[in-house]
Amino acid sequence: MATQGPVIVLPGDQIDPSLIPSRPKKALKLGPGLRHIPPNELVPTVAGQLTTDHKKNSIWVEYNGGRYIPAVGDLVIGTVQRSAAEYFYVTLTDYTSNALLPQLAFEMATKKTRPNLNPGALVYARVCLANRHMDPELECVSPATGKADGLGPLNGGMLYDVSLGLARRLLMRKSLEDGKVAVLEELGAAGLAFETAVGRNGKVWVNSESVKTVLIVGRAIQETDEKNLSVDQQKKLVRKLIKEVS
Amino acid sequence: MPREAEPSLNERAFVVQALQEGLRIDGRALDQFRELDLKFGDQYGVADLTLGKTRIFAKVSAEVTTPYTDRPFDGIFTITTELSPMASPSFEVNRPTETEIMLSRLLEKTVRRSNALDTESLCLVSGQKCWSIRVDLHVLSHDGNLIDASCLAVVAALRHFRKPDTSIEGETLTIYTPAEREPVPLSWLHSPLCVTFSFFGEEADIVVMDANLLEEQLRVTSFTISFNKHGEICQGAKLGGTTVEAMTLIKCANDALDKVKELTTWLDLKLVEDSKRRDKGGLMAELSAENER
């Protein structure tokens, strides 16, 4: 099998041993979509692109689809369902069990100054506990510094649903080079002022002073997602949308 | 039963705010339908309709039964709807939600009670034998405006359907297979179609056509009216919700008529296209012994 070009795997496929990163000093890290069958067999459990990172000695399958499964450290956008004595019950995806968000897990929150979130409010949070058979737990504050780092309640704006793959690509540190998404940069370059928050659970929150801007940004993101546009096509789409409005 | 997932407060506020400025989330005009597509199956009477992300599948079938004793000269015509959990997780099998009851009721009123299908023509031997026409409607994907889409799918499937030809000689009733005699279309009198309007704002002064699921969840009230292309009202339903001005409703009715005319023409075109696709030259072409060289 050629090492150049993306390697696509199907569930149960055999993985070419030459593709598995081998650094003697570090332990091999397995990411989502792979299962280790002791003693030394690796089997993909989903269909997708096999990706490796030799520096971190890690291997995982990049795939787009399915339901969001919380993992520790993910940034997510949730909807508050109800609040109890100590927790807010938050939904990350519709029709799944709620995640728990402690009322004190906000910046500067004490028993007297905790935030008051009504049912239906949006929060941007980080997953801090995720086990397979337990409800996940969220936090809106960094436990190390006590700072919010941009997390917390989201006011105003509009929430858009995107695929999990696009949400992941938007959250990449180099979203243009690795993720091949340029819509947001292009929209910003076109002179639109807006703020966004991307949830790993397939949600994008967009806010702006003007309603039109929010609609343009939302449509650009959704169209990029649905039609799976390349970087050039995304640029063209943004130009088209801007022209339509002005 | 899982409750329907409700939109967040931000979405609620934003959708209404945008509508007040005359803008919709998906960039459509207020009276614009989503993209419509209709495919017919290989069999007669199978229609697969997509309206944006809403997808409806309708199948018509016919069998010979005995008519109801109180209506010996009428055939039987039923429409059954099924909203399976595939369309939305909040639907459950065998436990109809309000949406489902409303949908089947409106279809009943629009298609059955307006006598779109001449049930007397389904009678074979009075009091003994008649055709029973059954429409099965499946919602494959639910993204709002089920009523308009379903009505269109049902009408399309019924107009596409062909029932086996029959003949009566004395006491014997013969039903011919498609190979023996070309199946015959139903006796179809007119095509009633629904148009649903959704109202927004405290005074219900913003009128929107073809609402998607999010808009449907946020509307203050809705109004469904059915017309045929001749401008005859078959049914009107405004079930609860905020009161709407009479003048607005009259304007809605006018808009609905225009829309129904447009949809009817579109449907006629699709049926003609399909019949062209099926037409392989008729019996003469089939009987010909000439080979293609």
> How many other C-beta atoms lie within 10 A of the C-beta of residue A112?
5
B171 half-sphere exposure, CB direction, 13 A CA radius: 0
* CATH number of the domain to which A48 belongs: 2.40.50.100
- pLDDT at residue B55 is higher than 80: yes
In a domain, A150, yes or no: yes
Q: Does residue A105 sit in the same domain as residue A34?
A: no
Q: What is the model's pLDDT at position B279? A: 79
Residue A20 pLDDT grade (very low, low, confident, very high; cuts 50, 70, 90): confident
Helices (H), chain B: 9-20, 98-107, 146-160, 213-218, 246-278, 282-287
B86 touches chain A (CB under 8 A): no
Q: A155: Cβ–Cβ under 8 A, 6 or more apart, which residues?
A: A207, B10
Residues of A with CB under 8 A from a CB of B: 79, 91, 94-95, 118, 120-122, 154-159, 205, 211-212, 214-215, 218-219
In a domain, B1, yes or no: no
In a domain, A116, yes or no: yes
3-class secondary structure, B33: coil
> How many other C-beta atoms lie within 10 A of the C-beta of residue A246?
8
Task: Write out the residue range of the structural domain in which residue A54 sits.
Answer: 7-62
List residues bridging with A82 in a β-sheet: A89
A7 in Cβ contact with A17 (< 8 Å): no
**Tally of domains within chain A:** 3
In a domain, B284, yes or no: yes
- What string of H, E and C letters represents the secondary structure of chain A? CCCCCCEEECCCCCCCHHHCCCCCCCCCEECCCEEEECCCEEEECCCEEEEEECCCCEEEEECCCCCCCCCCCCEEEEEEEEECCCEEEEECCCCCCCEEEECCCCCCCCCCCCCCCCCCCEEEEEEEECCCCCCCEEECCCCCCCCCCCCEEECCCEEEECCHHHHHHHHCCCCCCCCCCCHHHHHHHCCCCCEEEEECCCEEEEECCCHHHHHHHHHHHHHHHHHCCCHHHHHHHHHHHHHHHC
In a domain, A2, yes or no: no
Where does B116-209 show beta strands of DSSP type E?
A: 123-125, 129-141, 162-163, 166-169, 172-175, 184-185, 193-200, 206-209
Task: Give the minimum alpha-carbon distance from B218 to chain A in angstroms, rounded to a whole number.
Answer: 13
Residue from A143, A150, A159, A156 nearest A125 by CA: A150
Q: What is the model's pLDDT at position B283? A: 66
What tens digit of pLDDT does each residue of A226-238 get? 998 999 999 999 9
How many whole angstroms separate alpha carbon A166 and alpha carbon B170? Answer: 70
DSSP string, B206-217: EEEES--HHHHH
- pLDDT at residue B199 is higher than 90: yes
Q: Tokens 């969001």: give the residue.
A: A68
Q: Does residue A141 sit in the same domain as residue A165?
A: no
* CATH number of the domain to which B190 belongs: 3.30.230.70
Q: Select from B8, B20, B212 the residue whose CB has the most chain A CBs within 10 Å, as the one to mutate to test that interface.
A: B8
In a domain, B4, yes or no: no
Running DSSP on this structure, what letter comes out for residue B76? E
Any long-range contacts for B27-32 (C-beta under 8 Å, 24+ apart)? B27/A215, B27/A219, B28/B210, B30/B206, B30/B207, B30/B208, B30/B209, B31/B207, B31/B208, B31/B209, B31/B255, B31/B259, B32/B209, B32/B210
B6 touches chain A (CB under 8 A): yes
Q: Select from B6, B14, B218 the residue whose CB has the most chain A CBs within 10 Å, as the one to mutate to test that interface.
A: B14
Mean pLDDT of chain B: 91
Q: Is the ipTM of this complex over 0.90?
A: no
Q: Does residue A142 sit in the same domain as residue A91?
A: yes
Task: Write out the residue range of the structural domain in which residue B86 sits.
Answer: 16-288
Mean pLDDT of chain A: 89
Q: Does residue A166 sit in the same domain as residue A228?
A: yes
Q: Does residue A214 sit in the same domain as residue A177?
A: yes
Check CB contact under 8 Å for A211 and B13.
Answer: no
In a domain, A68, yes or no: no
**Tally of domains within chain B:** 1
Nearest to B5 among A94, A157, A214 (CB): A94
Check CB contact under 8 Å for A94 and B25.
Answer: no
What tens digit of pLDDT does each residue of B126-138 get? 889 999 999 999 9
Residues of chain B contacting residue A208, judged by C-beta atoms under 8 Å apart: none
Residue from A152, A163, A184, A181 nearest A77 by CA: A152
Task: Indicate the angle between helix axes B146-160 and B246-278, nearest 10 degrees.
Answer: 40
Residue from B14, B37, B21 nearest B266 by CA: B37
A161 in Cβ contact with A202 (< 8 Å): yes
B204 in Cβ contact with B244 (< 8 Å): yes
Q: Which of A126, A155, A184 is the last residue of a domain?
A: A155
- pLDDT at residue A2 is higher than 60: no
Q: How many CB pairs lie under 8 A apart between chains A and B?
A: 52
How many whole angstroms separate alpha carbon B59 and alpha carbon A216? Answer: 40
Token pair belonging to A41: 């067999």
* CATH number of the domain to which A97 belongs: 2.40.50.140
B74 in Cβ contact with B128 (< 8 Å): no
B228 in Cβ contact with B260 (< 8 Å): yes
Q: Select from A77, A201, A215 the residue whose CB has the most chain B CBs within 10 Å, as the one to mutate to test that interface.
A: A215
In a domain, B7, yes or no: no
Residue A1 pLDDT grade (very low, low, confident, very high; cuts 50, 70, 90): very low
In a domain, A70, yes or no: no
Segment B253-279 mean pLDDT: 93
Segment A49-66 mean pLDDT: 85
Q: Does residue A170 sit in the same domain as residue A149?
A: no
Torsion of CA A146, A149, A154, A156, to 10 degrees: 130
Q: What is the model's pLDDT at position B1? A: 61
How many whole angstroms separate alpha carbon B60 and alpha carbon B62? Answer: 7
Residue from A222, A215, A217, A224 nearest A176 by CA: A224
- pLDDT at residue B167 is higher than 50: yes
- pLDDT at residue B65 is higher than 80: yes
Torsion of CA B185, B121, B71, B79, to 10 degrees: 20
pTM of the model: 0.88
In a domain, A1, yes or no: no
In a domain, A17, yes or no: yes
Q: Does residue A93 sit in the same domain as residue A106?
A: yes
